[in-house]
Copies of this chain bind each other. A is one copy, B any other.
Amino acid sequence: MEIIREVNEMRNIIKLLKQGQKKIGFVPTMGFFHDGHLQLMKKAKKENDTVVSSVFVNPLQFGPNEDFDRYPRNEEEDIRKAEYVGVDFLFIPPLDEMYPQKMQITMTINDRIDVLCGKARPGHFDGVITVVTKLFHITQPDQVYFGMKDAQQVAVIDALIHNLNFSISLIGLPTVREEDGLAKSSRNVNLSKRERAQANWLFKALKHGHQLVVDGEFNPAIIIKEINNIISNNTDGKIDYIEVLSYPELKPVSDMNQQVIIALAVQFERARLIDNLLLNEDGDIIRFWKQEESQ
């Protein structure tokens, strides 16, 4: 595995790969790899000739009171893990390579963001689409891989790709979970022992919501209320949101007879956790999500 730190070096490598007709799979990350990241890389390895992954904690997508400074980092481990799962090029640009000067171009997303995490994190997804656009231009992937844990991020990248005509296929892979069901996240290390023991109730509550649908409950409000009760009764976390929305449009729905996401965010003392379930119109859980390149 080669480690690349300069934009122009990455660009030159991509040029050679393109000349060699290599199909490029790209996994953009903020590092501190856990199994969720590694699954993306493994899948990319299976489906492409070359896997490029990036590690860049993007300040543009953190709000002034968010956890940019304490976002966990461990470059040495990341390099070891990426190499182990077969990443070919790990792009780790320092801040001034990605932002050598004040941005002259501002990108804003004005759809799919007034709900879920977008509501509580104004500007977050503007930062995401900006850095992802830059990374797409540098790495020129055929296919790009994201985890469905950040389902709103996948919906936003879907809008970005279609709206700006990127020739890239977007693949969302299933959330990877701890044994007790807690979605793997780089932020889980910031949970206290007591909070960690409670945190599996997020997924339990989502599964209960799914069971309600299976049992014939079609009213989103009732599903949301029951999930809320379970989390309130079993954790110290403060519920940020529990929402049921169409996917990937992220519009309110009046019933569950369509492709919907049940998504939630819970704020613990030093970690804000998110999780979701995607259900098709029959109430079955959708684990993979793929949008072919198109206009």
A79 beta carbon closer than 8 Å to chain B: no
Is A164 within 8 A of B105, CB to CB?
yes
Among the listed B18, B134, B165, which residue makes an inter-chain contact with A165, where contact means beta carbons less than 8 Å apart?
B134
Once A8-B294, A8-B295, A295-B8 are accepted as A-B contacts, the answer to whether A167 and B15 lie under 8 Å apart by CB is: yes
Is B165 within 8 A of A105, CB to CB?
no
Is B103 within 8 A of A134, CB to CB?
no
Bound state CA distance, A112 and B103, in angstroms? 12
Once A18-B18, A107-B105 are accepted as A-B contacts, the answer to whether A140 and B167 lie under 8 Å apart by CB is: yes
Encode A91-132 as 1/0 by CB contact (under 8 A) with B: 000000100111111111111100000000000000001000
Interface centre among A102, A112, A166, A167, by most chain B C-beta atoms within 10 angstroms, is A167
Is A109 within 8 A of B100, CB to CB?
no
A160 beta carbon closer than 8 Å to chain B: yes
Is A160 within 8 A of B105, CB to CB?
yes
Bound state CA distance, A107 and B160, in angstroms? 11
Once A19-B21, A108-B108, A295-B97 are accepted as A-B contacts, the answer to whether A163 and B11 lie under 8 Å apart by CB is: no
B contact residues around A8 at 8 Å (CB) = 294-295
Among the listed B18, B105, B167, B294, which residue makes an inter-chain contact with A129, where contact means beta carbons less than 8 Å apart?
B105
CB of A1, distance to nearest CB on chain B (Å): 22
Bound state CA distance, A52 and B97, in angstroms? 32
CB of A137, distance to nearest CB on chain B (Å): 4
A133 beta carbon closer than 8 Å to chain B: yes
A239 beta carbon closer than 8 Å to chain B: no
Q: Please, which residue of chain B has its CB at the minimum distance from the CB of A111?
A: B104
In chain A, positions 1-49 with a C-beta closer than 8 Å to chain B are 7-8, 11, 14-15, 18-19, 21
Is A7 within 8 A of B295, CB to CB?
yes
Q: Please, which residue of chain B has its CB at the minimum distance from the CB of A103?
A: B163
Bound state CA distance, A14 and B159, in angstroms? 22
Is A295 within 8 A of B100, CB to CB?
yes
A191 beta carbon closer than 8 Å to chain B: no
A138 beta carbon closer than 8 Å to chain B: yes
Is B7 within 8 A of A134, CB to CB?
no
In chain A, positions 134-183 with a C-beta closer than 8 Å to chain B are 134, 137-138, 140, 159-160, 163-167
Once A107-B105, A109-B105 are accepted as A-B contacts, the answer to whether A164 and B133 lie under 8 Å apart by CB is: yes
B contact residues around A294 at 8 Å (CB) = 8
- 30 CB < 8 A contacts A-B: A7-B165, A8-B294, A11-B167, A11-B295, A14-B167, A18-B18, A19-B21, A97-B295, A100-B295, A101-B163, A102-B111, A104-B109, A104-B110, A104-B111, A104-B112, A104-B159, A104-B163, A105-B109, A105-B110, A105-B129, A105-B159, A105-B160, A105-B163, A106-B108, A133-B164, A134-B165, A137-B166, A137-B167, A138-B165, A138-B167
